[in-house]
Amino acid sequence: MTRPSQRPALQCAGRLLDLSRPRIMGIINTTPDSFSDGGSLYRDSALDLDRAMARARAQVDAGADILDIGGESTRPGASPVSSQEEIDRVLPLLERIVAELDVVVSVDTSNPELMREAAARGAGMINDVRALERDGALAVAAESGLAVCIMHRQGEPATMQAAPRYEDVVTDVCDYLRQRAEDCVAGGVVRERLVLDPGFGFGKTLQHNFALLAGLERLSSLGLPVLAGLSRKSMIDKVLGRPVDRRLAGSLALALFAAQGGAHILRVHDVAETHDALAMLHAKEHWETL
């Protein structure tokens, strides 16, 4: 398992996250239309905060090191939501998690207003699929002092899977993230707070996704932590022919491949199962200390 020695930890506001082993980011979608679990936290067309909090608590108990709250779906074909609607979906749950659970809270957003409000309420990380490219996002992220994950994508959610093309997907993604990281540092984000995400499934074909997975060590070699989000994605269906609710085995396999390729953070739906799979990988690689 590749684990770059120059980045043993990530500063997430007031918390230091040890990255000497892969960490688990649990997904909590407060949306009615996410591809995997959209609407599962809703009751009578409204977000059930108690149900969402129960999921958050269960994920922490199962081994999540980070909880990633998202209020806008970024699945292929997704429609945007208003800034206020996204804020209303995310902030009440964030406030309860910060008050009740001992965990780093990440906000999955491209919305500068939500970034600012989340930072003020105790979030530790911004996870932005648009890599702080929206107007004002970079300045807000820099001012917040939070850890920031910047992701590669090709196109916007509504159209990104139409016809993605690359000269060389690994080189292109690495070049983009290297340059974007430099732009973020120039804009005031401290380099030691940056995380890179190759954006599996965001403007990539099946072949592109597996090429990125096979070449993940090249991204790790840039000297910044790497986040991999492969859980339940359609690439599993394209190989195995499995619907979303039958992709656990494929998700676990991809999580282990990503960890072996040097990923520091794994963004997953199935926290307990991923925790156990990573524990077995660790035992296999460190059997002499058992």
Strand residue runs (E) in the chain: 9-12, 15-18, 23-29, 42-43, 46-47, 66-70, 104-108, 125-128, 147-151, 194-197, 227-228, 265-268
Does residue 233 have an active-site annotation? Answer: yes
CA dihedral 173, 264, 151, 49 (to 10 degrees): 160
Q: From CA 252, how far away is CA 30, in angstroms rounded?
A: 23
First to last CA, the chain: 18
Q: How far apart are CA 254 and CA 133, in angstroms?
A: 28
Q: Which of 7, 55, 153, 267 is catalytic?
A: 267
CA angle 35, 172, 10 (to 5 degrees): 70
242 is annotated as an active-site residue: no
Phi-psi region of 42 (alpha: psi -120 to 50; beta: other; left: phi over 0): beta
Please pick, among 233, 242, 246, 284, the residue that the annotation labels catalytic: 233
Six-digit token string for 256: 């282990």
Q: Which residues are catalytic?
A: 233, 267
